[in-house]
């Protein structure tokens, strides 16, 4: 969210501010003539004034959400009592993005959010301590993007901003999704030192990295207070070790969010995650989200699958929320990827992945693995909600494979879901059919298999490539 930095601009006085203004002085009508005579000596219009405590007014200002920016700006301008409270909310979260063109007094100019914010911090130094969340992004709606022209490479004040924000608790750096990843090595030395220095802060509890490359693992090894780590589409390097004499910590994570779209990304990161001396301390993880998707043509080794299973096992004793995208290679994996009988505190589970994919030598049927995994959930169970996103690929080049969709163990799948429904688990199932080149033939099979699941109490949704959801209905025609 982009913060309106210029508090000196004229703003609309919203209705919320009028409520605050009226509450600053409350007029109480007197009950009898005696009190009316007394009140007339101290006030006008037949009432006596009761002023609310300043602490109560400050608490009211604190409740105004960031989305009510006009109201917050009005509060910041109207009196000294409200100014620090309103500014604290306005400047709590700052987003610094790409320079953009804008009009001011009918004059087109290029605006630099980082330079504008830096100017405000120099003019009003007290604003620095209000900033707790900083987002640095190069993501924008562009038709063409070149990372070599990224504004982060040449911005003259970004490193100075990071050095001044001593109270920063959350840092998010995001590249552009349509082009090359942000290249950490191409940044200026001042910017790299500023980012690494901010991660070493005792207050930095959350780091989010998206669409980046050449990210030094040392950036995370020196974060003593890190609790929440989000990594999406990033490539790490381990050759840049911490400087001699610098302290190395094992961050004790509370939440871990990870998403990768290739083995190259995952292989650059998981060795540090599994390092029991300098890696992550997994003993306190409460939320684990792993979305590791390998390409069908990538040479996946058993150690690559073992790394996913190892991380899941490390978190099993404490995690309460688990989200896992299981790769299609799980079908041929010789070990247990996910043993749901070892999660004593799990109450929310999300599983997503392919249940049927046409392969070169035959269909990739992962439905048996999914059934076996669900049957491992002990009854009674601590699990309260289960979300399943099952992807079925309907390829025009694998007609013979698609003819065998009806042979999948749909009945066993329904029994596994019904077992959980009987244990009072809320089950939500979405089947996404990609392509749908064979029309009703494949769709009829899925509908027939899921109809019984819906009758058992499972919330079922079938989504097709036609951009419409299919309602379950009885159809006498089957797969030819």
Note whether 136 and 152 are within 8 A (CB).
Answer: yes
Q: Which of 418, 363, 362 is nearest to 393 (CA)?
A: 363
In sequence order, what are the residues at sequence separation of 6 or more whose Cβ sits closer than 8 angstroms to the Cβ of residue 124?
A: none
In degrees rounded to 5, what are phi and psi of residue 210?
A: -140, 135
Q: Which of 244, 247, 241, 300 is nearest to 272 (CA)?
A: 241
Q: Which of 252, 262, 272, 335 is nearest to 294 (CA)?
A: 262
> Is the omega angle on the peptide bond into residue 108 within 30 degrees of 0, that is, cis?
no
CA 410, 412, 415 angle in degrees (round to 5)?
Answer: 110
Locate 21 and state its tokens: 């203004």
How many whole angstroms separate alpha carbon 338 and alpha carbon 347? 16
DSSP code string of 119-144: HHHHH-GGGGGG--EEEEE-----S-
Locate 7 and state its tokens: 């508090």
pTM for the full model? 0.81
Q: So where are the chain's domains?
A: 91-281, 294-480
Q: What is the pLDDT along the chain (480 residues), one digit of tens a residue?
A: 343 333 333 333 344 444 444 444 333 333 444 443 444 444 444 445 557 788 888 888 888 887 888 888 888 888 888 888 888 889 999 999 988 776 666 666 678 899 999 999 999 999 999 999 999 999 877 777 888 889 999 999 999 999 999 999 999 999 988 878 999 999 999 999 999 999 999 999 999 999 999 999 988 988 999 999 999 999 999 865 555 556 678 899 999 999 998 999 999 999 999 998 889 999 999 999 999 988 767 788 889 999 999 999 999 999 999 999 998 888 888 788 999 999 999 999 999 998 877 665 556 788 899 999 999 999 999 999 999 999 887 665 555 555 567 778 889 999 999 999 999 999 999 998 876 555 567 778 888 888 889 999 999 998 876 554 444 443 334 333
How many whole angstroms separate alpha carbon 200 and alpha carbon 178? 31
How many whole angstroms separate alpha carbon 252 and alpha carbon 280? 6
- How far does the chain reach from its first CA to its final CA, in angstroms? 53
How many whole angstroms separate alpha carbon 132 and alpha carbon 203? 9
Residue 476 vs residues 76, 118, 397, 440, 472: alpha-carbon distances, Å: 67, 68, 27, 12, 13
* Residue whose tokens read 């064979």: 438
Locate 250 and state its tokens: 């094992």
């Amino acid at each position: 969210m982009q913060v309106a930095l210029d508090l000196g601009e004229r703003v609309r006085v919203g209705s919320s501010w009028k409520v605050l203004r009226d509450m600053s002085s409350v007029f109480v009508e007197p009950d009898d003539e005696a009190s009316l005579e007394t009140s007339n000596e101290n006030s006008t219009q037949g009432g006596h004034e009761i002023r609310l405590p300043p602490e109560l007014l400050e608490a009211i200002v604190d409740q105004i959400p960031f989305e009510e920016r006009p109201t917050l700006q009005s509060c910041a301008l109207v009196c000294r009592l409200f100014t620090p409270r309103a500014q604290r909310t306005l400047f709590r979260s700052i987003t610094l993005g790409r320079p953009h063109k804008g009009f001011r007094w009918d004059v087109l100019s290029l605006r630099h959010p980082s330079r504008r914010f830096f100017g405000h911090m120099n003019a009003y130094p007290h604003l620095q301590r209000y900033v707790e969340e900083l987002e640095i992004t190069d993501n924008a709606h562009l038709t063409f993007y070149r990372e070599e022209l990224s504004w982060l490479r040449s911005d003259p004040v970004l490193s100075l901003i990071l050095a001044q924000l001593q109270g920063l608790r959350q840092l998010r750096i995001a590249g552009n999704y349509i082009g090359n990843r942000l290249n950490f090595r191409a940044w200026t030395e001042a910017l790299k030192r500023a980012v690494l220095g901010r991660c070493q802060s005792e207050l930095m509890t959350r780091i989010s990295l998206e669409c980046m490359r050449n990210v030094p693992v040392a950036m995370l090894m020196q974060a003593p207070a890190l609790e929440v780590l989000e990594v999406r589409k990033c490539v790490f390097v381990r050759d840049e070790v911490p400087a001699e004499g610098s302290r190395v910590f094992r961050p004790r994570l509370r939440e871990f969010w990870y998403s990768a779209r290739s083995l190259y990304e995952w292989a650059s990161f998981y060795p540090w995650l599994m390092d029991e001396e300098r890696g992550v301390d997994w003993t306190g993880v409460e939320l684990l989200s792993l979305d590791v998707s390998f390409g069908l043509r990538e040479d996946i080794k058993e150690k690559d699958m073992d790394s996913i299973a190892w991380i899941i096992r490390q978190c099993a004793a404490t995690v309460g929320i688990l989200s896992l995208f299981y790769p299609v290679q799980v079908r041929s994996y010789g070990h247990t990827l996910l043993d749901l009988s070892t999660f004593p505190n799990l109450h929310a589970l999300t599983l997503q992945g392919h249940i049927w994919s046409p392969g070169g030598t035959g269909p990739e049927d992962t439905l048996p693995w999914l059934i076996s995994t669900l049957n491992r959930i002990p009854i009674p169970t601590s699990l309260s909600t289960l979300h399943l996103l099952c992807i079925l690929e309907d390829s025009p080049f694998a007609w013979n494979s698609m003819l065998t969709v009806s042979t999948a163990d749909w009945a066993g799948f329904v029994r596994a879901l019904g077992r959980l429904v009987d244990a009072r688990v809320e089950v939500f199932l979405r089947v996404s059919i990609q392509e749908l080149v064979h029309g009703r033939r494949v769709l009829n099979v899925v509908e027939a298999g899921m109809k019984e699941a819906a009758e058992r109490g499972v919330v079922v949704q079938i989504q097709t490539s036609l951009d419409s959801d299919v309602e379950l209905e009885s159809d006498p025609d089957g797969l030819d």
